[in-house]
Amino acid sequence: MKKNIQKKSSPDSSLSRSPTKQRDIKVHAVIDNVRSAYNIGSFFRTADATGCTKLHICGISAYPPNPKVEKTALGAAESVPWKYYKKTEEAIATLNKENIPIYAVELTENSRDFRTFDYSHPVAFIFGHELDGIGNSILKLANHVIHIPMHGKKSSLNVATVAGIILYEAIRNTS
């Protein structure tokens, strides 16, 4: 005999936000020479989930239309505004013209724990190359350099995972 199992159709509506409110948050992500198209697809999914205002895709990073990006993005490339720049400096200059504070996400000698900031909006975060991170010339253009504390033997996380942590922290107090 089969049991009649009811499935929940959607999460508690008090936990979700409307697309209009999501776009009011004003969080930008600058993707600096991220080499994996699959990571770029993950950025699109995370940007959609967090209501990210815009992805600024730079340098060697793949961008739509690209089958690897689209495979991981699962349609989010159509719902998240984005722009491609040949050079990361161009994206930063655009954000500077809009007076948007820029946080580079990189573990450096002088970086600060990302949890010590109260992020105002609008805000932009730079995420760098999977192996090389964010170059010194780009780090110098940021208003702040932040990092996620590491407690294991490795000193890094996947860049798309980092984006999820940082973007959700940036919107935490606005939901």
pLDDT digits (tens, 9 = 90+) for 94-126: 999 999 999 999 999 999 999 999 888 899 999
Q: Where are the domains of the chain?
A: 19-174
**pLDDT per residue over 23-79, tens digit each?**
567 999 999 999 999 999 999 999 999 999 999 999 999 999 999 999 999 999 999
Written as six digits, the tokens of 42 are 């993950």
Q: What is the pTM (predicted TM-score) of this model?
A: 0.86
Question: Between 3.10.129.10, 3.40.1280.10, 3.20.20.70, 3.40.630.30, what CATH number should domain 19-174 receive?
Answer: 3.40.1280.10
Residues 6+ positions from 163 with CB-CB distance below 8 Å = 29, 42, 43, 46, 125, 127
